[in-house]
Chain A
Amino acid sequence: MLDIRNLAGNTAVSRGEPWGDREVVLEFAATVFRFHGLSGAQASRIEKRYGRVVSETVANAEAVHTQVCKAPLPVHSDPLRYSTNNLYTPLTLHDSAGLEVEGFGFQARIDLTPDFHGLLWGEDEALLARSIVFENYLRTAAAYAALRREGLFLHSAGVVVNDKAWLFLGRSGAGKSTLSRLALQEGAAVLSDDANILLPDVRGCYRAGPVPFAGELGDVNRDARQDYPVAGLFWLEQSDRPACLSMPPAVQWARVMACCPVVNVDPHRGGALLSVLEKLLRQLPMRVLRFRKDQTFIAIVKSIEEG
């Protein structure tokens, strides 16, 4: 299916020539991502884009290492090779040890066992550091890093109410950004209107932190490294009759799973994902939140608390 070069196994990180000797360390959602082999120009671009989560001080924390290399890419004539339903979609090939990804201007190998490490390569120095490559890779790495720690990378809006995170999931257009905007207007903190990472703390209780991938509202969170205990999960539906309602358990599973990009199509990690869902939804059953766009955020909070 994919003609991604065969780079399976630990030899992956030793293949290819680095672009330079610069390293960039990003830290968010209690995870450290180290990128090695960058040129000065690549490092500068990445540091500028992800400035809020660039870390200078992390030395010995467990990290996800990625080697960035230069290597020629195969030439493809199909203009829709990376298109699914008219959306840009890198090709992914999963195996028991990890996955291979191929997209516009890059290929990547992520090994998940025994250690989590990656190899990202391409033939265009500038393109590799641009969002279309780097952020796609980082999103994939973040999703697997979260799952590895029994957490989730969740398409959701995250709003902080009384120092606790409420996560709002929903179909495209359901109102995640609208609700986030309402929350911001009324002074609440928003983690992200697009995606958040949930990780269990030492007691197994889930906490939510933002990711540095801007949604419709841009970078809205005040502290990219601050996480909060999750107090509720809500499935958003717009309705003329605001309400907060319970949801059948199996529907909760289906909805949350659909909001776990990247890992929810990996047959080798499907069991692990289901186990996380089981743990999360036992702790935090998801409810349906019906809201009107002209409601105030305070009124929405009230409907949740009364529900």
Chain B
Amino acid sequence: MHKQDTLRLHPDILFRAVPPEGVLVDQRIPSVMVINESGLRMMELIRDKGSRQAVIDALMEEYDAPAEVIRADVDAFLDDLRNRDMLS
């Protein structure tokens, strides 16, 4: 369970949508990562909504998938970002 609901990208992380994918730039390393279409949508929601629950709610409206699947996907994505120290 993620207790921290507020989401904000670390200031050294740049994100840009390049449909159908996206680019995440970590200027501390430096490294550039390409994220797929699902990752792009989650990054847009993290940027625009700023909270885990809001991201999950938005995805539940957009995708015809069980809530637990969406929740698990979002948490896995957030875990990945946290492991890379990309969230502040």
Q: Is A bound to B?
A: yes
Q: Report A's interface with B, CB cutoff 8 A.
A: 248-254, 257-258, 264-267, 270-271, 274, 278
Across the interface, name the chain B residue whose C-beta is closest to A278. B16
In whole angstroms, what is the CA distance A258 to B27 when docked? 11
**A267 near B12 (CB under 8 angstroms)?**
yes
Add 20 more A-B contacts to A264-B25, A270-B25 (CB < 8 A). A249-B18, A249-B19, A249-B20, A249-B21, A250-B18, A250-B35, A251-B21, A251-B34, A253-B16, A253-B18, A253-B23, A253-B32, A254-B33, A257-B32, A264-B27, A267-B11, A267-B27, A274-B14, A274-B16, A278-B16
Given A248-B21, A265-B27, A270-B27; A254-B32 close (CB under 8 Å): yes
> Which residues of A lie under 8 Å from residue B33 when comparing CB positions?
254
Minimum Cβ distance to chain B for residue A276 (Å): 12
Can you spell out 30 A-B residue pairs with CB atoms less than 8 angstroms apart?
Answer: A248-B34, A249-B18, A249-B19, A249-B20, A249-B21, A250-B18, A250-B21, A250-B35, A251-B21, A252-B18, A253-B16, A253-B18, A253-B32, A253-B34, A254-B23, A254-B33, A257-B23, A257-B25, A257-B32, A264-B25, A264-B27, A265-B30, A267-B12, A267-B27, A270-B14, A270-B25, A270-B27, A271-B14, A274-B14, A278-B16
Main secondary structure of the interface of B (DSSP, over half): strand
**B32 near A258 (CB under 8 angstroms)?**
yes
Write the B6-26 contact mask toward A (1 if CB under 8 angstroms, else 0): 000001101010111111010
**A264 near B34 (CB under 8 angstroms)?**
no
Q: Report B's interface with A, CB cutoff 8 A.
A: 11-12, 14, 16, 18-23, 25, 27, 30, 32-35
In whole angstroms, what is the CA distance A264 to B21 when docked? 20
Minimum Cβ distance to chain B for residue A256 (Å): 9
In whole angstroms, what is the CA distance A214 to B12 when docked? 32
> Which residues of A lie under 8 Å from residue B30 when comparing CB positions?
264-265
Across the interface, name the chain B residue whose C-beta is closest to A274. B16
Residue from B20, B22, B23, B33 with most neighbouring chain A CB atoms (10 Å): B23
The list of the 4 closest CB pairs from A to B, nearest first, reads A250-B21, A254-B32, A250-B18, A250-B34
> Which residues of B lie under 8 Å from residue A274 when comparing CB positions?
14, 16, 23, 25
Minimum Cβ distance to chain B for residue A163 (Å): 31
Minimum Cβ distance to chain A for residue B57 (Å): 26
In whole angstroms, what is the CA distance A252 to B27 when docked? 18
Minimum Cβ distance to chain A for residue B79 (Å): 22
> Which residues of B lie under 8 Å from residue A248 when comparing CB positions?
21, 34
In whole angstroms, what is the CA distance A248 to B20 when docked? 9
> Which residues of A lie under 8 Å from residue B12 when comparing CB positions?
267
Across the interface, name the chain A residue whose C-beta is closest to B23. A253
> Which residues of B lie under 8 Å from residue A271 when comparing CB positions?
14
In whole angstroms, what is the CA distance A278 to B20 when docked? 14
Across the interface, name the chain A residue whose C-beta is closest to B22. A250
Minimum Cβ distance to chain A for residue B49 (Å): 21
In whole angstroms, what is the CA distance A252 to B30 when docked? 17
